Structure 1
Amino acid sequence: YQPGSRGKNWDTHDEVFSPFAEIYSCHGCSETDDGPLLMKRHVHMGPRTGETVFERAIEKGYRIGMIAAGDNHSVPAVFEHGSMCALAADCTKEAIWEAFVNRRVYGVSQSRIEVDFSVDGAEMGSEITTGGEAELSFRIKGTAAVDRVEILRDNILEKMVVHSGTWERKEQSGVIRFKFRLEFGWGPDIRVYPDAICRVWNGLLKVDGKLLGVEKCWNNFGQELTSQTEDSCEFSLTTYQSTATGKWMGPSNVTTEGFIFEVEADADSSIHLTVEGKEYAFLVRDMLKSSSVTALWDEVEKLTEDTWGEITHYRDDPWWHNAYKFKVGRAYPEDSYLLEHHETINVEEDCCYRLRVWQKNNDAAWTSPVFLRTGQGLAEKKED
């Protein structure tokens, strides 16, 4: 944001007080002024400006990490507005604080992309001295297909590791691992149906195999994973037709709740979903090709008739646009969301390396830099 009007003043930054900075939140992305994730949710704040973005900190030589966090004033940890990861030895306050002060942190824009990034074995946030060559390594476990990983030296793209195109033609057969997202929400236009502010969904997911993991993609209160077994889970979700804050300067409407599931099952098996007592089956083979949306037609037809009587229309708009829906996202095989990379880099001057990770669904992750010192800078300081 504008200097002097909530924008960051990097001239007064203190690394000890603030070892890392938030570069993504409900406001959008402030890493750079020309990136694709804009700052358009809080229109009263005005547009972002390049004078205060995170890149200025790198240019000034600060040893600073980066995170994402929702900046949420009513609901903590909103899925769609960014989350912070700390690489800590355990979940004690002491271990997490130790990770904070040593900048072993990174941020994600939405889903919890797992990132391990190091240079010569030193994790993100580290400051190391190198003799001219170093080994850069990373391992990514995405929540959907990884598109590319951008390796940045200081603020400039050094190399792009493209993952798209490496897995799509591989045949998926037998028992495979895959991930998919399940979303619930949408629903009636509250200008027409003012009482349809929220809706409770009760459901059961069962797989013909193993349910390996469940990530909660939650944006409001009222969500619960009621039980989880080796092959199933029950849940209760509450979806809303408007933002939780209700403020004029609040973020755009949040309308969906759901999960990202990791499953191990036969490629020719089925996913069984029960929603409000009605059973649906989805072939894994079909899910690997495309997503699908299901509308609760019986409910919206009854809602329309109870409100307006029997009506006709040459299109299905009065029903489709006001129907509650759920979406079964495309299933991505393990080959698509796992990526490892190792390379030798030449380090001729002091610099920092960091990663920007993009998935095909536009979810992003940003790592704190590893700061490399050649020893030359220290010698020059002594001479001065």
Structure 2
Amino acid sequence: MARTQPVSPPAAYSLQWGDLHKHLTGPGTDISRLDDIVSAGADHLDFLAVFCYPFKWYRKGRERGIREETVGNRPEFANWWAQIQSTAQQWLSPDEFVTFPAYEWHGNRRRWGDHHVVYRTEGYPLDDEWELPALCENMAPRDALVIPHHTGYLPGERGKDWDTFDPELSPVTEVYSSHGSSEGAATPVPMDENADMGPRTSGGTFRDALDRGIRVGAVASNDGPGLPGTWNNGIVGLWATELTRDGIWDAIRERRTYGVTGDRIELWWELDGTPMGGLLEASDSVTARISVDCPQPLDRVELVHNGRVARTYTHPAPDPSGANGLHRVLVEFGWGPTSEYGDFDSTECSWSGTVNVTNGDLRRVWPRFVGLGQTHELTDDGCHFDLVTARGEPADRILPESAPKSHRQALIVEYVGTIDTDLVVSLDDHDDSTVSHEAAVEDTHLFPFLEESWDRLATEFDLGRDDIDNEDIVYHNARKVRINRAFHQSACGAGVVFDDLPVADGWNYYYVRASQDDGQYAWSSPIWIDN
């Protein structure tokens, strides 16, 4: 039972996107590239924790040995921390890009679960206190956050022990990352990306904390090396009064936060006028007002109350008949040659060009970037991009969660189109890929670069067309551009109202879970009622 009506976030807040957990030191990283990696984050994020992962790997035992990760401090970590703090300060640019110095706690993670520390300012230590209660005691007088992450693993084996929790230091927890979802032990999005630490189980999840009466909000972040804000590895959205350290910090402390898997789903919600993260006094029934705006079609909005889905709104199926107006389309680049078929000179592909519309108006762009080397800029003459894709296992893969699929990159573009509009993908090294708006609202269109693939087989393997019996190898190793179906803005969002929500005796929590048709998710911070 839901009704739809416009719901707008308060004008006092603006939505900011960031990553609070991206390894910039330690395994899989190159500390000499700190500036390059932070710069890559600044290209598409509003804020970033400049993050020290103070760990090293080594081998022990017989020849080749077994890999082990350090525990506690090492002499070089002090230098890492100094560089992290210097970089955070250097890149801080209020109203443009906000940074914080941060590090992964390198104490007794097995016993207490994994946590990372974010400082509001530079000048605080890389605290290597071994036990979590002692760490929290040290952090209490500092401007610090202690954020639990991948909490859904087994408590006592790197899952979160919620017996030790300070709501002042830990106003939020990481509900999703490259590991997967810690929402609950049997909730929709899995947590299977790190089979070494898994599987997910009960005891340490987000819902376990809420069921115990713990007041903790939700964020998502990447966890692991590579591009900050890597798509589908988790990023955090928050509603801040300003894009400054104080503005971001206050939003986290007040739990005006939520996490998304990758796509930047705009989510705001309130309960009887109290915003996400807030606390209401006693009430017999309440009304939830939710605003959801997705880059791609909205599937459903669920309201979870005390561990159960209390209400569900299912968005109507997209109607392609409304051809005019504001539309959103996913444009993908990638695929290409793979070493599975042969010893290609390189399986890396570069893409430079623009996405544009003729007889229309390009409004905004959402990136779906995986891995370093991606840039985009929206100008008056289109969205200019430089992208890199590669198939196969990356040579620098180290952690299970550090190898996102980089065989494709994507941009979601929003444009105003009519029956006279064309979508045009122009590449510096290939003919244009063009789809009329009228066709785009009906179907997906794929452009395989077959002639280029034939030429590659001839150049690299001395194979002419008569030499190839099975032409699968041409298509299977071809670069491709996919212009997905365009959807009207109305398919992508809604204002949803749930009236007369039940309130149980005692402590109640409510949070919103929103999802797109393609499986992208958002989880809000809860609102609580003390009844």
Q: TM-score, normalised by structure 1?
A: 0.91
Q: Deviations over 1:308-353 (max 9, x none)?
A: 4125555431111111112112211111012111232243433111
Of the three residues 342, 362, 366, the one matched with 1:211 is 362
Q: 1:333 to 1:226 in 2, by over 3 A?
A: closer
Whichever residue aligns with residue 415 of structure 2, its letter is V
Aligned residue number for residue 377 of structure 1: none
Mapping of 1:142-221 within 5 angstroms?
Answer: 142-165=294-317, 167-168=318-319, 171-173=321-323, 175-191=324-340, 192-207=342-357, 208-221=359-372
Of the three residues 347, 360, 366, the one matched with 2:503 is 347
Q: Deviations over 1:187-234 (max 9, x none)?
A: 1112413432322111122212111111121111111225511x5222
Q: TM-score, normalised by structure 2?
A: 0.67
Corresponding residue SS for 1:2? coil
Per mean C-alpha deviation after superposition, the further-off stretch among 237-246 and 281-290 is 237-246
How far apart are residue 133 of structure 1 and its match? 3.0
Aligned residue number for residue 75 of structure 1: 227
Percent same amino acid among aligned pairs? 26
Of the three residues 361, 364, 367, the one matched with 2:524 is 367
The aligned length equals 370
Q: 1:55 to 1:336 in 2, by over 3 A?
A: same
Q: 1:38 to 1:212 in 2, by over 3 A?
A: same
Instruction: Say if 1:67 and 1:105, in contact at 8 Å, map to a contact too.
Output: yes
Aligned residue number for residue 335 of structure 1: 490
Corresponding residue SS for 1:97? helix
Q: Deviations over 1:123-159 (max 9, x none)?
A: 1001121432322101111111101111110210101
Q: 1:226 to 1:112 in 2, by over 3 A?
A: closer
Instruction: Say if 2:226 and 2:372, in contact at 8 Å, map to a contact too.
Output: no
Q: Which runs of 4+ in 1 moved over 4 A?
A: 311-315
Of the three residues 276, 294, 314, the one matched with 2:447 is 294
Q: Deviations over 1:81-123 (max 9, x none)?
A: 1110111011111011000111110011110000110011111
How far apart are residue 270 of structure 1 and its match? 1.2
Instruction: Say if 1:220 and 1:244, in contact at 8 Å, map to a contact too.
Output: no
Whichever residue aligns with residue 482 of structure 2, its letter is K
In 2, Cα distance between equivalents of 1:268 and 1:257:
28
Pairing 1:317–2:472 present: yes
Corresponding residue SS for 1:18? coil
How far apart are residue 300 of structure 1 and its match? 0.7
Q: 1:194 to 1:50 in 2, by over 3 A?
A: farther
Aligned residue number for residue 378 of structure 1: none
In 2, Cα distance between equivalents of 1:37 and 1:348:
27
Mapping of 1:260-271 within 5 angstroms?
Answer: 260-271=412-423
In 2, Cα distance between equivalents of 1:252 and 1:73:
10
Of the three residues 11, 36, 47, the one matched with 2:188 is 36
In 1, Cα distance between equivalents of 2:307 and 2:403:
29
How far apart are residue 79 of structure 1 and its match? 1.0
Per mean C-alpha deviation after superposition, the further-off stretch among 346-355 and 239-248 is 239-248
CA RMSD of aligned residues (A): 1.9
Instruction: Say if 1:182 and 1:259, in contact at 8 Å, map to a contact too.
Output: yes
Of the three residues 279, 282, 298, the one matched with 2:435 is 282
Unaligned runs of 5+ in 2: 1-152
Which is bigger in relative contact order (C-alpha 8 A, separation at least 6)? Answer: 1
In 2, Cα distance between equivalents of 1:244 and 1:334:
40
Unaligned runs of 5+ in 1: 375-384
Q: Deviations over 1:151-192 (max 9, x none)?
A: 110210101101033x43x6314x311111111111111241
Corresponding residue SS for 1:51? coil
